[in-house]
Every structure is written in structure tokens, then in C-alpha cells.
Amino acid sequence: MRHQLATFKLDDRLYGVDVARVQEALKMQAHTPVPHAPEAVAGLVNLRGQVVLMVDLRARLGRAPYGPEDEPMMMVVNIDGEPVSLLVDQVGDVLELDGDSFGPPPPTLEESLQEVVTGVYSLEEDLLLSLDVDLAAQV
Amino acid sequence: MDAMDEIVREFVVESYENLDQLDQDLVALESDSSSRALLSSVFRTIHTIKGTSGFLAFGNLESLTHVGENLLAELRDGKRVMTQLTADVLLKMVDSVRDLLGVIESTGTEGTIDTSAIVAEIQAVLDDPTGGAGTETAAPAEPVDEAAAEEAIEAAVAALHEDDEDDADDADDVDEAPEAEAEVEPVAEKPAAEKPAPKIGKKIVAKPDTAPAKPAAPAAPAAAAKPAEETKTTEETPVRSAAEQSIRVDVDVLDALMRHVGELVLARNAMTNLAADMDDPALVRASQRLSLIATELQQGVMKTRMQPIDHVWNKVPRMVRDISSALGRKVRLDMVGKDTELDRGVLEAIKDPLTHLIRNAIDHGIETPADRAKAGKPEQGVLGLRAYHQGGQVVIEIADDGKGIDPDVISAKAIEKGLKTAGQIESMSPQDILQLLFLPGFSTAEKVTNVSGRGVGMDVVKTKIDSIGGVVDVQSTPGTGTTWRLRIPLTLAIMPALTVECADEVFAIPQVNLLELLAIDDKLTGIDHVGDAPVYRLRGQLLPLVDLRDVLGRDKRESLEGAVITVLQADGGRFGLLVDKVRNTEEIVAKPIATAIKTIGLYAGATLLGDGSVTLILDIPAVARRALELTETQIDVHDEAALRGDTEQMLVVAVGEGRQLAMPLGAVTRLERLSAEVLETVGGATVMQYRDRITPVVDLAQMLGSGAAFREELAFIICTRGDRTVALVANEVVDIVDSTAEERSEVSGYGLLGSIVVKDKVTELLDLEAAVTQADAAFYEVEEHVFNQSEVAELIGAGKGA
């Protein structure tokens, strides 16, 4: 069994989500903040005429949210047929991975990641955390 | 009348469709004269037209289709076979029907088309057992008819001889005379207005005395007169016929179209924005043109989705009848504005709330005939439905003349159910108390009935109306009735909105909530504070102010200077929302937003502005609730007394005989309109029961020697000081005006201080103190009621943010 994962970096860690769920990767765009929204909601962005929710994945994974000077990238994923934009540090390659290299999340993983990380692929020189994209996009 | 037109219209459209089919069927019949199925189909069509035209009182059309039907019945039943002649007359009949329909369509009446000739022709065929071809073997269908026809022939011939001078030359041309002889018979039988004047053959029919040409239907009479030539009515009429004018379209197609137009509107907004920045005249022109076309297209598409409110209302009479008989009420239904059009989506959404409000009005509003008689009202109550357009919205009113809603009952209920504390109720005006009806779990029915009162009442109405961006409010006068008013956007898809700025962010406020805009000048005119909370004096009412910055948790405003107050309406209450700047009005298209944002409960949706940015649409009722517990917003006018400025606001009332009186509004606690019946006399003094207290009353007209006011309804000016209350009675409240001391002149009499000019009319200045002390000498001896800090906080709750 081989899996195709779209990867991205966040705080120097490598993450991956099912490539079939990824619609596109874009540079950060002007967005509208939403007062009183949960911290993980970065705002709303106009994606070719569609109003799309922007999720600050850093905040979602229990880290400090992006500041105004940061320039994250947008990874637009499909959640229940609607696009949601995940903010990540940098979008990486699509990797084809062998099911053999897949293992359960290590117990040492921070608590904030436990619920969204489905497992870990061990690459040659790195570990790749596989995310449940539905849970990650949920705020 | 309009409902009738609608029916006629549908009839015309339907009949046109049927006639096209009929033409084909008849032609097919000629080649296959034995087809029973074809004959039955033709028969049914004509039968339907006959039935409906009889119902709609189109006598000519009915008589024409009646003979046609007779002929077809014989054909269908095999008593007669199809011949060339039979087919000819039948086709002629179809043409005549078409002509008649044309006239009905354009004028709404049958006009003056004369059908007797064609009727006669058909009758002649009917009466001729040979069917004109000698092959007919069947016996005549109705011997009675035959006998009658014979008489008719005689009559016709006689009439012809009496009245044939000017017909003579025409008659010479007529070679089918034998065929036409019998025509008088069916016509003479009809009570309809057509003249049974002798008309032989086809050409005479068009004579001016029998068929005066009506300008409204120029082509029709002539065409009807010459069916043989098969002249079409449509040949020079520029108007398309009903059948050509309407097509059936799948609603989904319209919905998709509307969505696309919504997108186009947004794209147009973006374009306009860009063009404005580019400063290229050609581009500006092109974008203006685009803008114009987009607007027209939008209106056009919106129109396709519009349906008259009658689509919902037409079920109301039956409903009212059923409910009122079930509850033993007598109710007359008045409906005004049936033509008012609404988007079909909106129409669908108001169905349930409307039903509920109507039921409620009959159940809780209108009393039983016995109670009404006791209250001195006619036994039959009136339920009024009114719909009209106002400021880009549709207003629907449901009014009854029943017992009204007693604020005290509502208050007691609210306290009993733990929805409000007695202290909170105390500080609420009657109008605010009525709003409690919309709280979930509120039902005032003393007993639960089948019809209403299950405690899932008004809050459901409100939720439903909220969900389509509408507003519902209620006004009621105990004893005289209740009016529910729904204000609903014309369409759900595209709405006009005001864009405002707050802390460098832009938000959209739906126009439906917006009443007016006020700019705060550098002197902060009109701004006052009750405790810490800012209020604005708006025409004698204190308008609580809420700062959008506080609502959104943004940086505090340093100064009110330069800010703009948007006066908003939400659930029957008004408040002022402070924003930094007003940008624009824009047509916006509400886009769905993620649940995470919906659950915040401040935003109705999001939209794209012309510059492509996403903007949140504020959910004004939610903002109001969040910011100030709306039921406590309206502050009684008497707070005003503490806040009086240089110019004084004067209340102007009419006291009959054209006299107007002015008094300082600040001294007035409340204004009420009540029935004159509340006045009672105790020991020579006039009193009334007001808020469970016996309150002395001064009739201003009487006091000033103008004679007592005799009107069914009076304006009561309530002045309260401490625990003492005095009511002054006038005919009606005219106005509230600003007046400075210099404007006053000193012409006075008893009870007057002078006069001022209000809108070109001399208005006497009432010596309020004299008037009040006449009723209650001790009135001014009480300590003036001063708000303490905690009360103020409870009253307003503004400026606390969310």
C-alpha cells in the first residue's frame, strides 16, 4: 500500500495530509479578521469569489498564532465539499510513501498534537506526521 | 378584482394551449374521422372552455362552445360522421374562440364580438341530419332542439323582413342564407347581452350597429366577422398573446440564474472600484454601462422570482373562517395589497409565521361576540392584512381590533416564568414589555387551545423572520387591538447594505435594520450620559448608544467626536450603533460562512466588496442582544428632564377648534393614545385608571375654555413626579419641536405662558404647572425622582461591550 501525502512544514516539523484532499497551495492573501472568533480562525479570504475560512494551523496545533509580520502559505483543503484554507509555514512536495514505514504516533508527542496526528511515517532523515485533515481544519 | 383578473389570465393561457392542440386534433380527425380518442380529446377541451367561460360569465364564449360541444357530442357518440362541412364549422368555431380569448385577454371582457353567425352555422350543421354531405344516417340528437330551432327559423325570417332595408344589399351577397337561418335560436335563449338582431351570413355581422368597433380590440371584431377567411387577430397587434408571453421555467433554473447574477453584481462592484482608481474616462464609461446593465439584469432576474403575496394569502380566508368558527368568533377579513410581490424564497419562509400570527390574532386578539358587545364594539371583529413596499422592503401588517395585549399580563407572566425580574419590568416601557412576547417559552393563552398557545408561539415567528433577515415588531393598545408588523427584505439573494468602518475594519449593516444616520459634531450635540452609558437625544427620545468597537472587542474610542451613529431597528427596539466612519451603500450577496463563525452569533454572513475584500455582515438583532439586552433599551422620556439644554423641546398637541398647545417635553413622562372610555368621574373630578392607579385628569380644552373634547380616542400626556401622576388630555399629539426662549411672545390667558410659532401656526404655550396643580395640588411638593447609579446601569447596560 502506498500513500500520497502533500507535505508542509510548521515549526521545522514535517506534516502530511492526504493529497486527494488538497485543492491547491497559495501564497498568503489579504484576509479579513473575524472579531470574537476562536484563536485558530485567522480570518476569511476571498478565493475566486468564494468566501473561505482561514485556519491558523499553528494556533490549532497549540502553538503561538501567526503574527502580522509572518508570511505563511495557504494550503486549501476540501472539507465536506467546502474549501478551507490552512495556514502553514511552507508547503513542500507531494511524497509517495510506503505503508510499511507507517507507525502509530509516538507517545512522546505533545498533547495538542495527539488528537489530530493519525500516525508517523519514518523517512530517511526525518519523521513525517500524518494529520487528520478534517480534525485539523475544525475550529 | 385582481384575483379575478388572475383567474381570467390563467384561463386564457390555458385555453390557448388547449386550442393549439385542438387545431391539430381537428385536422387529424379529417383524415381519421373514426378516432374516438381524438374526438373525446376535442370534446373535453371545448367542454372545459365552456364550463370555465360560464363560470366567468363570458356569455358569448359559452354559447359558442355550447353549440360546438353539442356537435362534438354527436360526433363522439357516433350519431354523426365527420364531414368537410363539419370540420369547417368546427375550425371556424375554434377561430372564433381564439378571437374571443384575444379580446378577453386585452380588455378583460368579451367586448363586442358577435358570435351569432358562427353559432348559427354550427346549429345549422347540427340541425341538418345529413351533415351537409348526405352521408349522415344518425337520428337528430335532441328533438326538442329541433322544434325550438324551427321556431327560431321563423322568428329569424320574420325579423329579417322587418329590418332588412340596410341589410338588403349585403344580404344579396349571401349565398349561404339557408345555412344561417337558424342562428337566432341559441342566441335568443341566452340571457347574455348580445342582440338577437337578424344577421344572415358572415358579412353582415360586422355592421357597425351590432358590432361597434372598440378601440381596445381593433382587429378582433372584424376577424370574428369573417371566420371563413380565417383572419388572425394577431396579424397587427404588437402585443404578444398570453400563450406566447408566458413559459414555465424550472425554479432551479431561476435559482441558478439568481446566483450567477449575484456573482455578476459582485464582479460589477469590483469593476466599478477598479475603474474609479484608474482614472481612464473610457474605462469609466464602460464600467458605468456594465453597472447599468448588471443592475437591470439583476432587477429582471429578481422579477422572475417575484410572486404576489396572494399566493400565500389566498388560503387565508378559508383559514380565518375555519378558525373563527372553531373558536366562536365573528371575523371579517380585510386584505389590502394582494399584489405586493415578494421573492418566492421569502414568500415560502413567511408562510408559517403569517399563519401563526393570523391564528394568534383570532385566538388571542379578537374577543367572542359577547365580550365584544360588552365592550361596546361591533360583534364582528376585523382582521386586517396589509402588505406594501417601503424603502426596498416589504411590510406586512396583521392587525386585529380585539382586546389588545395588556402589558401587565405580559409582565406578570414574564416574572412568573422567571424570564425577567420585577425590577427589570419596573423600568420597562409598555412597548418594551410587549417585546417579551418574543422570548422563547412565552405563551399568554390562559388555556391552551387547539389553535394557539402551546408556548412555542412568537419566538418561532421571530426566529423564522430573523432567519430571512426580517424584523418583526408588535404594537398594541389594550381594548382597541394589536398590530404585528413584519419588515422583510425583497429578496434573500441580494440585499442593500451600508458599509461602515470600525477600528480600520469594514463591516456591512443590512439596510433593513437601518433607520437613519447621525453624525456627531465637535460639540457632541445631543450626546449625554446616563451614568457611564452614552445616550443620544433623538427627537425627544433617548437613544441608547452602543459602540461597535466595544461590541467587537476592539480598542476603546478616545472621543465620540466625528463618530457616526447608525440608528438601527432590531426586534421593535431602537438603538444607536457607533461606528468610526460610514463608507458606502452597496448591494451585497450574503455568502455562507463556516459554522465556527456562525456560532459567534454576531454575523449574519459574509460578502465580497467591490475591492475584493471579504466583509462580515453584522447580525443586528444579535448585536443588539449581545450589547444591551435589548428589552431594556428604550428609556422613558422623563429622563430627559434631567438633561435639558438651552433649546427646549416642546410637545405640541391639538385641543380642538384648531388650537394648538405646546409644553416642555422634558416635563412629560409618557404619551399614550387611549380610548375616551377610560375617563371616569369621581366626585365631580375626572380621573382615569392608569397603571392600576387612580390618576387625576385635566382636560386641556376644558381648562382653556374650548369645551370638552369628544373623541373616541384621546392623547394622554402623563406627568409623573415621584409617586404622583397626573394625566392631561388633548385631542392628539401634533409634533415635537425645538424652541428657544427668544422665540416666545407674551400673549397669554389663563393657563398660558405665551405663544410660539410652530410650522407657521401660532401655538399657545401651556402653563404646565398650572394645569398639573389643577388636578393635583400636591404634585410639585414631592421630591423629584432621581436615578441612582444601579438603576441606570440596569436601564441601559450600554457601553459594556460583549
pLDDT tens column, B615-658: 999 988 778 877 764 334 344 333 443 344 456 777 888 887 77
Distance, in Å, from the CA atom of B789 to the CA atom of B531, rounded to the nearest integer, reads 6
Chain A interface includes B593 (CB < 8 A): yes
> Which residue matches cell numbers 439596510?
B511
Chain B segment 539-568 residues within 8 A of A by beta carbon are 552-554
SS3 B458: helix
Using the beta-carbon criterion (under 8 Å), do A32 and B603 form an inter-chain contact?
Answer: no
Of B266, B596, B614, the CB nearest to A45: B614
Using the beta-carbon criterion (under 8 Å), do B614 and A139 form an inter-chain contact?
Answer: no
pLDDT in tens, B724-757: 888 888 887 777 777 765 556 665 667 777 777 7
> Which residue matches cell numbers 350597429?
B209
Distance, in Å, from the CA atom of B475 to the CA atom of B509, rounded to the nearest integer, reads 25
Distance, in Å, from the CA atom of B302 to the CA atom of B396, rounded to the nearest integer, reads 20
Of B594, B603, B613, the CB nearest to A53: B594
Distance, in Å, from the CA atom of B478 to the CA atom of B402, rounded to the nearest integer, reads 8
Chain A interface includes B606 (CB < 8 A): yes
The count of structural domains within chain A is 1
Kindly tell me if the per-residue pLDDT of B456 is higher than 60.
Answer: no
Which helix (H) or strand (E) segment holds residue A44: the answer is: strand A41-47
Residues of A in contact with B547 (CB under 8 A): none
From chain A, which residues contact B within 8 Å (Cβ)? Answer: 30-38, 41, 43-46, 49-51, 53, 82, 84, 138-139
Residue B207, pLDDT score: 40
Chain A interface includes B328 (CB < 8 A): no
User: Using an 8 Å Cβ cutoff, are B405 and B478 in contact?
Assistant: yes
Q: Which of B649, B623, B618, B410 is nearest to B500 (CA)?
A: B618
Using the beta-carbon criterion (under 8 Å), do A34 and B616 form an inter-chain contact?
Answer: yes
Residue of B nearest to A44 (CA): B614
For B279, the grid coordinates are 482614472
Chosen for mutation from A29, A31, A34, A135 (greatest number of chain B CBs closer than 10 Å) is: A34
SS3 B688: strand
In this prediction, residues B203-221 reach a mean pLDDT of: 41
Q: Environment class of residue B540 by beta-carbon count within 10 Å: exposed (0-12), middle (13-18) or buried (19+)?
A: middle
Question: Crossing angle, helix B84-107 and helix B36-55, to 10 degrees?
Answer: 30
Residue of B nearest to A33 (CA): B505
Residue A15, pLDDT score: 93
Residue B630, pLDDT score: 35
The residue type at B656 = G
Distance, in Å, from the CA atom of B296 to the CA atom of B303, rounded to the nearest integer, reads 10
Distance, in Å, from the CA atom of B80 to the CA atom of B137, rounded to the nearest integer, reads 7
User: Using an 8 Å Cβ cutoff, are B69 and B42 in contact?
Assistant: no
Residue B710, pLDDT score: 62
User: Using an 8 Å Cβ cutoff, are B611 and B539 in contact?
Assistant: no
Using the beta-carbon criterion (under 8 Å), do A44 and B608 form an inter-chain contact?
Answer: no
Using the beta-carbon criterion (under 8 Å), do A30 and B613 form an inter-chain contact?
Answer: yes
CA atoms within 13 A on the CB side of B430: 17
Residues of A in contact with B591 (CB under 8 A): 50-51
**What is the ipTM score, two decimals?**
0.89
Residue B247, pLDDT score: 80
Q: Which domain holds residue A120?
A: 2-136
In this prediction, residues B307-315 reach a mean pLDDT of: 87
Q: Kindly write down the DSSP assignment for every residue of B581-600, as one continuous string.
A: EEEEEEEEEPBP--HHHHTT
A104 to chain B, minimum CA–CA distance in Å? 30
Question: Crossing angle, helix B84-107 and helix B59-76, to 10 degrees?
Answer: 150
pLDDT in tens, B694-718: 888 888 877 777 765 567 778 888 8
Q: What angle do CA B765, B770, B773 make, to 5 degrees?
A: 145
Find the range with the poorest average confidence among A30-34, A35-39, B490-494, B591-595.
B490-494
| Residue B449 backbone dihedrals phi, psi, to 5 degrees | -110, 170
Residue B198, pLDDT score: 43
User: Using an 8 Å Cβ cutoff, are B643 and B537 in contact?
Assistant: yes
Residue B468, pLDDT score: 79
**B295 Cβ neighbours under 8 A, 6+ residues apart:** none
User: Using an 8 Å Cβ cutoff, are B183 and B121 in contact?
Assistant: yes
Chosen for mutation from B259, B264, B597 (greatest number of chain A CBs closer than 10 Å) is: B597
Residue B383, pLDDT score: 92
State the pLDDT confidence band at A124, using cuts at 50, 70 and 90. confident
Kindly tell me if the per-residue pLDDT of B155 is higher than 80.
Answer: no
CATH topology of domain B308-489: Heat Shock Protein 90 (3.30.565)
Q: In terms of CATH architecture, what is B494-632? A: Beta Barrel (2.40)
Distance, in Å, from the CA atom of B796 to the CA atom of B787, rounded to the nearest integer, reads 12
User: Using an 8 Å Cβ cutoff, are B550 and B801 in contact?
Assistant: yes
Residue B187, pLDDT score: 41
Distance, in Å, from the CA atom of B493 to the CA atom of B294, rounded to the nearest integer, reads 15
Chosen for mutation from A29, A32, A52 (greatest number of chain B CBs closer than 10 Å) is: A32
- Report the 10 Å Cβ neighbour count for B684: 5
**Residue of higher predicted confidence among B182 and A14:** A14
User: Using an 8 Å Cβ cutoff, are B367 and B327 in contact?
Assistant: no
Chosen for mutation from A45, A46, A80, A82 (greatest number of chain B CBs closer than 10 Å) is: A46
SS3 B267: helix
The residue ranges of every structural domain in chain B are 2-245, 251-304, 308-489, 494-632, 645-781
State the pLDDT confidence band at B192, using cuts at 50, 70 and 90. very low
CA dihedral B12, B16, B18, B19 (to 10 degrees): 130
A119 to chain B, minimum CA–CA distance in Å? 27
Q: What percent of chain B has pLDDT over 70?
A: 73
Chain A interface includes B191 (CB < 8 A): no
User: Using an 8 Å Cβ cutoff, are A134 and A46 in contact?
Assistant: no
Q: Look up the CATH number of domain B2-245.
A: 1.20.120.160
Residue of A nearest to B503 (CA): A35
| Residue B85 backbone dihedrals phi, psi, to 5 degrees | -65, -45
Of B554, B602, B606, the CB nearest to A44: B606
For B329, the grid coordinates are 368568533
Which helix (H) or strand (E) segment holds residue B774: the answer is: helix B768-775
**B465 Cβ neighbours under 8 A, 6+ residues apart:** B350, B353, B471, B472, B486, B488
Residue of B nearest to A85 (CA): B594
In this prediction, residues B405-411 reach a mean pLDDT of: 84
Distance, in Å, from the CA atom of B484 to the CA atom of A124, rounded to the nearest integer, reads 73
In this prediction, residues B759-780 reach a mean pLDDT of: 78
Residue B746, pLDDT score: 62
Phi-psi region of B328 (alpha: psi -120 to 50; beta: other; left: phi over 0): left
Residue A41, pLDDT score: 92
pLDDT in tens, A66-110: 988 889 999 999 998 889 999 999 999 999 888 888 888 888 888
- CA-based end-to-end distance of chain A: 32
Average pLDDT, chain B: 73
A39 to chain B, minimum CA–CA distance in Å? 11
CB pairs under 8 A between A and B: 62
Kindly tell me if the per-residue pLDDT of B469 is higher than 70.
Answer: yes
Using the beta-carbon criterion (under 8 Å), do B266 and A53 form an inter-chain contact?
Answer: no
The residue type at B29 = L
A107 to chain B, minimum CA–CA distance in Å? 30
User: Using an 8 Å Cβ cutoff, are A114 and A105 in contact?
Assistant: yes
Chosen for mutation from B614, B615, B625 (greatest number of chain A CBs closer than 10 Å) is: B614
pLDDT in tens, B481-509: 889 988 887 766 678 899 999 988 999 99
DSSP B635: B
CATH topology of domain B645-781: OB fold (Dihydrolipoamide Acetyltransferase, E2P) (2.40.50)
Chain A interface includes B612 (CB < 8 A): yes
State the pLDDT confidence band at B355, using cuts at 50, 70 and 90. confident
Chain A interface includes B254 (CB < 8 A): no
What's A120's domain CATH number?
2.40.50.180
For A92, the grid coordinates are 513542500
Sign of CA dihedral B598, B599, B603, B608: negative
In this prediction, residues B310-326 reach a mean pLDDT of: 86
In this prediction, residues B242-257 reach a mean pLDDT of: 77
Residue B795, pLDDT score: 36
pLDDT in tens, B104-141: 888 877 777 777 888 888 888 888 765 444 443 334 44
Residue of A nearest to B610 (CA): A49
What residues form DSSP beta bridges with B636? Answer: none
Q: Which of B647, B665, B672, B495 is nearest to B586 (CA)?
A: B495
Residues of A in contact with B613 (CB under 8 A): 30, 32, 46
Using the beta-carbon criterion (under 8 Å), do B600 and A33 form an inter-chain contact?
Answer: no
Which helix (H) or strand (E) segment holds residue B738: the answer is: strand B732-739
Using the beta-carbon criterion (under 8 Å), do B591 and A50 form an inter-chain contact?
Answer: yes
For A55, the grid coordinates are 485556519
Taking CB atoms within 8 Å and a gap of at least 24, the contacts of B317-325 are B319/B355, B319/B358, B319/B359, B320/B358, B320/B362, B320/B383, B323/B358, B323/B359, B323/B362, B323/B363, B323/B451, B324/B362, B324/B366
Task: Decide whether B308-489 matches B494-632 in CATH topology.
Answer: no
Residue B10, pLDDT score: 78
In this prediction, residues B183-199 reach a mean pLDDT of: 42
DSSP B654: E
Please state whether the predicted TM-score (pTM) of the whole model is above 0.95: no
Distance, in Å, from the CA atom of B513 to the CA atom of B490, rounded to the nearest integer, reads 13
Separate counts of helices (H) and strands (E) for chain A: 3, 12
Using the beta-carbon criterion (under 8 Å), do B603 and A43 form an inter-chain contact?
Answer: no
Q: Which of A54, A37, A34, A58 is nearest to A45 (CA)?
A: A54
**Residue of higher predicted confidence among B40 and A32:** A32
Q: Environment class of residue B234 by beta-carbon count within 10 Å: exposed (0-12), middle (13-18) or buried (19+)?
A: middle
Chain A interface includes B685 (CB < 8 A): no
